[in-house]
Chain A
């Protein structure tokens, strides 16, 4: 019984960390169709912001929930203005440019902080189920992920900003004819995506180790998940995270994390073979 409860929490944890990893990418890649290969590095920057701020004496919740998204959001807007906006509509060039950005960011962080592992300890201590001890923070993380996605959904479906953003992504020319400054919409949307990525990096910092190259571990699974999600970026990402997170965690429980990763990939390739448009290409078609 305890084992079952533990396993359920582990699975929910797997889903929530995967969904968090993908949230920003669902907006930047899923909605804007901008291949951001520096996604992992945005997460890494969010993680470093939390670690540095917390070690400097800032309350860990303030550094995770406010400072990380703020810092990475600003870096995201700067990158968009200085680099990415020149490549809109040219996917392969965007991919290469953002990958250059990714290496550059790793280089800058390595230059400042050195190539060492850092981290912060998770707040809120432990609780126990039978003989197992679990970190309370992991439970809170699940709740925060749910809240975050509800927030994203409300912003993009119920507010004027979200309406303008979706309209611009659907038909930029039409939007600009209606008097909307599309470059600004792109900039702001990219900034929001980057901020969410930074937030994810911050929130995951206490349960992971942070090194300058940590982004590599996130980027491939994030892209796979968002791509498998398909055209309805937010819903698709949630569904795909649910499927992949469950499978990976269960396989990992039975075998090793490596096999878990392999199985995740194989399932992704099979799903894309059967549903080339992704999950939301077939079901939940009218979702966001």
Chain B
């Protein structure tokens, strides 16, 4: 279907990224100690969450302010299902399909109601805040699903580890968890890259570029947007499952505004319209957050201050994000990265056409 052309700049980039991710997959348990390895699983989960928004915002043009809602639902659904079933194969699938179904329902109301960008952002934000408030209020013993008590703001702890499909007693060791998480990230990344090259993916991007034109060409914009949103919801749910495997714990903070906002920040800083950038953005900001947490500042510096300043600086000075900016800098200063001139023209034209809104 797709002839691999090694001269094509995008193909080279994909091969490079793939090699890097595979290297990390195989070398991971060798280079990291156990504690770091678990931390890496957390980073992978967040990177996948970043990917889910990078796809629907950067390529579908849907600015979802509450991507955390699907993440949280994924985590909770996995936790509740695995506690009730005692086996993890079906719960993992549920952790993908329940958030995806919820995204489809929400997407139906929003896209078929033809809410514009901004209304959409606010509605999704409100949905995640509602989930946050609701899950925090479920401390009482009357709130339980099967054997799983929801436990309010304390969250559900001691959630069983996932096991190998078909072997309920063969639990995953931390090394295995890392392999699973990293493989899933690679699959999702290349899955999205593949999706964007299919007819469906191209229509999604076309709708982002010019909704009216896509509609006049006969595409049902509402349906395509809803499906893109659904895929994003499923990926975020999968990320929610991964975060539960990280420390066998899920709490309402997965729905919190702080997280919802951070996801936007990762994509914004990494570069809207890219997939690698947001993953790196999530890594950079999580490490910054960790570092801020370990420092004893003179008292007046706090994370709100630092993150607020970062956002304002980026939106004023680097509105394109890290990845596109880095690409432009590389093209200018590293002659060997330059593709043939006509490719540059095409790439710059495409990026300017994409615009900022």
A contact set with B: CB distance below 8 Å: 35, 83, 86-87, 90-93, 95-97, 99-108, 110-112, 212, 216, 220-221, 223-224, 227, 256, 258, 261-262, 265, 268-270, 272-274, 276
* A100→B134 contact, CB < 8 A: no
CA distance A147 to B118 in the complex (A): 31
Determine if B126 and A111 form an interchain contact, defined as CB atoms under 8 angstroms apart.
no
* B357:A258 contact, CB within 8 angstroms: no
Shortest distance between the CB of B317 and any CB in chain A (Å):
11
Cβ contact within 8 Å between B257 and A216: yes
Where chain A touches its partner, the secondary structure class is helix
Q: Shortest Cβ distance from B84 into chain A, in angstroms? A: 24
| Interface residues as binary, B250-278 with A (CB distance below 8 Å gives 1, 0 otherwise) | 00000001000100100010000000000
Cα–Cα, bound, A96→B320 (Å):
13
In the complex, A262→B127 CA distance in Å? Answer: 9
Q: Are B268 and A96 in contact (CB under 8 A)?
A: yes
In the assembly, what is the distance between CA of A73 and CA of B122, in Å?
Answer: 24
B312 contacts A261, C-beta separation under 8 Å:
no
For chain B, residues 212 to 249, give those with C-beta under 8 angstroms from any C-beta of chain A: none
Question: Nearest chain B CB to A202's CB is how many angstroms away?
Answer: 22
Q: Which of A103, A108, A110 contacts B311 (CB 8 A)?
A: A103
B291 CB–A CB distance under 8 Å: no
Whether the Cβ atoms of A100 and B300 lie closer than 8 Å is no
Complex Cα distance, B312 from A270, in Å, reads 34
What number of A-B contacts does a CB cutoff of 8 Å give? Answer: 122
Q: Is A97's CB under 8 angstroms from B304's CB?
A: no
B261 and A99 contacting across the interface, CB-CB below 8 Å: yes
Chain A residues near B310 (CB, 8 Å)? 100
Given contacts A93-B315, A261-B133, contact A103 B121 (CB under 8 A): no
Task: Please name all residues of chain A whose beta carbon is closer than 8 Å to the beta carbon of B302 when the two chains form the complex.
Answer: 107, 110-111
Please give, as numbers and ranges, the residues of chain B lying within 8 Å of A83 by CB-CB distance.
312, 316
Q: Are B134 and A258 in contact (CB under 8 A)?
A: yes
B15 at the interface (CB under 8 A from A): no
Q: How many B residues face the partner with a CB closer than 8 A?
A: 44
> Among A92, A106, A223, A262, which residue has its beta carbon within 8 angstroms of that of B130?
A262
Interface residues of B in 124-166 (CB under 8 A from A): 125-127, 129-130, 133-134, 137
B352 to chain A: closest CB distance in Å?
A: 15
B307 at the interface (CB under 8 A from A): yes
Residue of B118, B126, B306 touching A268 (CB-CB under 8 A): B126
Q: Are A107 and B118 interface neighbours, CB within 8 A? A: no
B113-A272 in contact (CB<8A): yes
Q: Does B1 contact A (CB under 8 A)?
A: no
Interface centre among A102, A107, A111 (most CB of B within 10 A): A107
Residue B356, interface by CB 8 Å: yes
Beyond A92-B356, A93-B356, A258-B133, list 12 extra A-B contacts (CB 8 Å). Answer: A90-B356, A92-B118, A95-B121, A99-B261, A100-B309, A110-B304, A221-B126, A223-B122, A224-B123, A227-B122, A269-B123, A272-B119
The residue from A93, A101, A256 contacting B319, defined by CB atoms under 8 A apart: A93
Does B117 contact A261, Cβ atoms closer than 8 Å? no
22 A-B pairs with C-beta separation under 8 A = A35-B118, A92-B63, A93-B357, A95-B63, A95-B121, A96-B311, A100-B307, A100-B312, A100-B315, A102-B308, A103-B304, A104-B304, A104-B305, A106-B304, A107-B308, A107-B309, A110-B305, A216-B129, A216-B257, A220-B125, A258-B133, A273-B109
Cβ of B225 to closest chain A Cβ, rounded Å: 15
The CA of A265 and the CA of B129, in the complex, are separated in Å by: 10
- Which of B113, B118, B126, B309 contacts A95 (CB under 8 A)? B118
- Say if the beta carbon of B115 comes within 8 Å of chain A: yes
A108 to B302, CA, bound (A): 9
B129 contact set on A, CB distance < 8 A: 216, 220
How far is it, in angstroms, between the C-alpha of A216 and the C-alpha of B63 when the chains are bound?
A: 19
Shortest distance from the beta carbon of B69 to any chain A beta carbon, whole Å = 12
Minimum CB–CB distance from B59 to chain A (whole Å) comes to 15
The yes or no answer to B112 lying at the interface (CB within 8 A) is yes
Question: Given A108-B305, A262-B130, A269-B109, does the pair A100, B119 have CB atoms closer than 8 Å?
Answer: no
- Complex Cα distance, B357 from A93, in Å, reads 7
Q: Does B301 reach chain A (CB closer than 8 Å)?
A: yes
In the complex, the answer to whether B357 meets A90 with C-beta atoms within 8 Å is yes
B114 within 8 A of A: yes
Q: How far is the CA of A212 from the CA of B301 in the complex (A)?
A: 14
Please give me the residue from chain A that is nearest to B310 by CB atom.
Answer: A100
Q: Which residues of B contact A112 (CB under 8 A)?
A: 300
- A223 — which chain B residues lie within 8 A by C-beta? 122, 125-126
* Chain A nearest CB, measured from B120 CB (Å): 10
Tell me if B109 and A261 are in contact (CB < 8 A).
Answer: no
Cβ-defined partner of A103 (8 Å) among B127, B308, B315, B357: B308
Instruction: Report yes or no: A106 in contact with B118, Cβ–Cβ below 8 A.
Output: no
For A268, list chain B residues within 8 Å (CB): 123, 126
Docked Cα-Cα span, A273 to B308, in Å, equals 34
